Amino acid sequence: MTTTATPIAPGLTGRNVLVTGIADRASLALAIAKEVARQGATPICTGLGPGDEDDALSERARDHLRTSFETFCKTVETDLGPDVPRLACNLASDASLARLVETLAERGLEVHGVVHSVAFDRTIRAGESVPLLETPREAFLECMDVSAYSLVALLRELVRGGRLAAGASAVALSYIGAERVVSHPYRNVAVAKAALERIGRELAYELGRSHGARVNVVRFSPYGDSRAGGAIPGLREAVARAEASAPLGNASPEALALEVAHLLHPGNAATGEVRNVDGGLHLLA
Ligand SMILES: NC(=O)c1ccc[n+]([C@@H]2O[C@H](COP(=O)([O-])OP(=O)(O)OC[C@H]3O[C@@H](n4cnc5c(N)ncnc54)[C@H](O)[C@@H]3O)[C@@H](O)[C@H]2O)c1
């Protein structure tokens, strides 16, 4: 006799997940968006793009933002489908965040999940990295703003605009360099990642009490294929070392995406955690 298994509803069915940080096909955020979609959620993707607040920028800088936004839109359309919302948002601009929240309200969208996958550090450029002691105040504050404070600003605007669903879950991406001095320069952004992790814990408390919402951080393996990873001098060598020495080798973006999706599940009660998805790299001295 043949029995038909009862289909199990995918764990994220009916959840809207706001995914920041897709630049192109190599972005970790894209792997996460694909996994949450596979598990039944609707991803809502935001990418860096031009906005009214950029009027003061040079034409070259605006061109760069336009091109970045086009690549983001094309990536989402090709890899996630033409119906997935693609919204421009500069996480370092309160005006841009307010516009994002307005757009969500106009479309009647509440978010049940938030993925923060954004970092920027101008002291890492063209294969070079500036020592922390020589990092100008402006570059330090900009990195802290984009890579850490933006989690506060994003969640605050979602709450203010009534777009964060009760019991929502947010996940931000970090790296072991937040805690340790790693084999390749990570310097300025390491300090911002340390702040991001602490912000995650603080917001887990505040949003847990006020909205029953959860906030967690996942530290991922070194990954050299993305724009952000590829820019870090020595990261590809760190990937090869992790591959050779971590108990499970280097973790893949798909493994990261599974853990992020797990943290976004409505039944999960983990909050204020900093988790490692790195094949066990963090165990090594
Ligand atoms: N690559 C790695 O080795 C690695 C390891 C662990 C964690 N991470 C973290 O994962 C996240 C994603 O990085 P990735 O490796 O996928 O690289 P990526 O370059 O694909 O993603 C970085 C994203 O940040 C966005 N961004 C920068 N400034 C922004 C702003 N002001 N507003 C909105 N978006 C902005 C970029 O447009 C890009 O989409 C980052 O937080 C990164 O630090 C990366």
Q: Are the beta carbons of 108 and 55 closer than 8 angstroms? A: no
Position 52 scores a pLDDT of 77
Which structure tokens are listed for 55?
């009027």
Strands across the sheet with 42-47, in order?
86-88, 42-47, 16-20, 111-116, 164-175, 214-220, 274-277
CA distance 197 to 268: 19
Q: Are the beta carbons of 23 and 227 closer than 8 angstroms? A: yes
- Of the candidates 185, 166, 60, the one whose C-alpha atom is nearest the C-alpha of residue 110 is 166
Query: pLDDT tens digits for 41-91?
Result: 999 999 999 887 777 788 888 899 999 999 999 999 999 999 999 999 999
**CATH number listed for the domain at residues 16-283:** 3.40.50.720
| Three-state secondary structure readout of 257-271 | HHHHHHHHCCCCCCC
CB-ligand 1 contact for 188 (6 Å cutoff): no
- Give residue limits of the domains in the chain: 16-283
Q: How far is the CA of 28 from the centre of ligand 1 (A)?
A: 8
CB-ligand 1 contact for 222 (6 Å cutoff): yes
CB-ligand 1 contact for 238 (6 Å cutoff): no
CB-ligand 1 contact for 43 (6 Å cutoff): no
Q: What is the Cα Rg of the chain in Å?
A: 19
* DSSP bridge pairs for 5: none
The SS3 assignment for 56 reads coil
**Ranges of residues in the chain whose predicted pLDDT is under 50:** 1-2
Pocket test for ligand 1, best of 35, 117, 122 (most atoms within 8 A of CB): 117
Position 1 scores a pLDDT of 46
CB-ligand 1 contact for 96 (6 Å cutoff): no
- Atom index in ligand 1 nearest the CA of residue 28 equals 16
Read off the amino acid at residue 220.
F
